[in-house]
Amino acid sequence: MNTNELKSTVKNLRKFKRTLEELQTEIASLEDQIKAQMGNCEEITTGEYKITYIRVKSSRLDSAALKKELPGIAQRYTIPTEYRRFAIV
């Protein structure tokens, strides 16, 4: 791939990413409108659509606290990973 092709490809990628960000913002806005209309209801059926907005509980490990209070155990169960980070700046 020559420099002009690469520049054009990067330009297209950045354009599509901006479009995606705009669409994600619009999607979030529409979802917020639906949630506001639902109020405290967890489930609503409207026509062919069933909409749910339910509370989900989860438990997560506080790795920062574990590293602080039991650093040896935290290190023993920490798995190193490696990956390549792609970025255009």
Spell out the alpha helix ranges (H) of 1-89: 3-38, 63-69, 71-76
The C-alpha atoms of residue 34 and residue 49 are separated, in whole angstroms, by: 12
Q: What is the residue range of 20's domain?
A: 3-76
Report if residue 81 sits inside a domain.
no
pLDDT in tens, 4-57: 999 999 999 999 999 999 999 999 999 999 999 999 999 999 999 999 999 999
Q: Is the pTM of this model over 0.85?
A: no
In a domain, 88, yes or no: no
For the chain, what is the domain count? 1
| Paired residues of 44 in beta bridges | 51
DSSP state of 48: T
Other CB atoms within 10 Å distance of the CB of residue 67: 14
